[in-house]
Amino acid sequence: MGIGIILFAVLALFLLFQYHWKRRHLYKISMKLEGPPALPLVGNGLSFLHKQEDFLGVISKIISTYTGPTRFWLGPHLLLLFSHPEHVEKILLSTKLSHKHELYDFIKIYIGEGLVSSSGEKHKRYRKIIQRMINTKFILGNMDTFQKHINIFLEKLSSRCGKCTFDIHEAIHLCCADIIGEIVLGMQMKAQYGQNMDFVHASAEVYTVAYERIMKPWYHPDIIYNFTSGKKEQSRIVSISYNFIKRHITNAIERVRTAKEDKNRIRPLIDQIADVIDKDTSVMDETDFVYNMYTLYLASEDTLTIIIAMLCVCLGMYPQYQKRAAEEVRSLHADTSGTIAYDNLSDLPYLAMCIKDVLRLIPIAPLIARRANEDFAIDDYVIPKDCGIIVSIFDLHRNPKHWENPSHFHPDHFLPDAVNSRHPYAYIPFSAGPRSCVGKQLAYSSLKLIMVNILQRFEIEADGKFPDIVLRSDITTRSVSGYNVRLKERVWN
């Protein structure tokens, strides 16, 4: 018995030594860089044992405390934190640093090896397929679809006019679910009429449930997480979302195989991808088809919802900017009830500046996590293979060196002279390099179109200024207290 215990202890010590010996390159760079003191096993995990609204502040405090690249440990993961545009440019342009970090494995539970979470050749293949589909022709061909759902949205907002403060998020959320449901998934979601709400609500909960597990290292092992309430929520969300998307993929495959080709019809993305797979089944299996469609739905719907909701709040808080944006819309489009043409969306430079500054203040992905798949030099440091890299877009977008009014909504940040004087990587709302967002053009066009319709019909009021808003992070950036506004019918002089 005694010998057995001794042998077991020797074996355990040997395995522990082997584990740490293989990670010695991580410990070496960790000792060279500044960073907060770490504890065994959990690292700096206890620093993030806060409410979600405190997380971004913790990261910002770490960045402001140390001058250069900063290291911290999240459980066994060594993460190097970067927020200077010169460093960010090198990171995002490098193919050596284009692989997603293991922390995204907890996102993969929901979206699998889709466009956002995949790496390597699989990501390149999926990006090539999807990127060529989301083009000007696709956007132009869906303008009527957008307007159809926006008109329902406007009528629902009309019932709020002249009444007390309300949270505009839910109305925008349902409108965007209808839009993306049709142009991406090829279905009539009818969320604005209360249909398919299990899927709509489950999709909204993905970010919160996944974030909680990522930021608590003791939840990382399945053997522990499987006994938590989070596991039950995770299973429920995965079941609802996977089965919902799979059902509509089946419908898309049937449409592709039975329908006659109509070159003038703009097909939803799900039909276009089904057509590609029908011609070459090796490009994507059914599971990855499901996950890619869910990724496209989540990324598109949530981006539009959050940015439009926050832009309404900002324009209400800063009426001088709302007046300029509304006057620009009015000068371009005199008919307050008609629809705007796609070509006219590019003739709204001030509205574009407003959208860009909201994307600066609440970047869709406040942090980007990458993993070095080989050694990579930045300045005097060599980032070793397997080391984690965090780019803080949130802090990059608030650096007073590059932004005149970093904590306020200030569209003049995007006047031509200001843009030209700023480092190009000081502003990366859709990331950059080989992993930049494939839907950037669709996002900007959609955001403009929805805001044009709102500004044509309504005058927005909101209390306070942007620094009064408490933000939280759950993969993306959101307001803790909602998106509270008041509406009045706009009266044009």
Tell me the two tokens of residue 33. Answer: 């860089």
CA pair distance 303, 195, nearest whole angstrom = 21
- CA-CA-CA-CA torsion sign (84, 88, 91, 94): negative
CA pair distance 91, 96, nearest whole angstrom = 8
CA pair distance 458, 482, nearest whole angstrom = 20
Given a contact cutoff of 8 angstroms between Cβ atoms, the answer to whether 126 and 114 are in contact is: yes
Given a contact cutoff of 8 angstroms between Cβ atoms, the answer to whether 85 and 423 are in contact is: yes
Helices (H), ranges, 344-458: 349-361, 393-396, 416-420, 440-457
Q: What is the dihedral of CA 78, 83, 89, 92, to 10 degrees?
A: 40
CA pair distance 408, 314, nearest whole angstrom = 9
Given a contact cutoff of 8 angstroms between Cβ atoms, the answer to whether 95 and 124 are in contact is: no
Given a contact cutoff of 8 angstroms between Cβ atoms, the answer to whether 183 and 269 are in contact is: yes
Show Cβ contacts of residue 77 under 8 Å, excluding neighbours closer than 6 positions. 43, 101, 102, 103, 388
437 known ligand binder: yes
What Cα–Cα distance (Å) separates residue 393 from each residue in 228, 362, 364?
Answer: 32, 9, 9
Element (DSSP H or E) covering residue 479: strand 476-479
Half-sphere exposure at residue 346, Cβ-oriented, CA atoms within 13 angstroms: 5
The letter for the amino acid at 345 is L
Given a contact cutoff of 8 angstroms between Cβ atoms, the answer to whether 174 and 191 are in contact is: yes
Helices (H), ranges, 23-99: 24-32, 52-65, 85-93
The order of strands in the sheet holding 166-167 is: 166-167, 484-489, 458-461
Q: Phi and psi for 375 in degrees, rounded to 5?
A: -60, 140
Cα 146 to chain centroid, rounded: 21
The letter for the amino acid at 58 is V
Tell me the two tokens of residue 151. Answer: 């008109």
Annotated binding site: 437
Annotated binding site for heme: 437
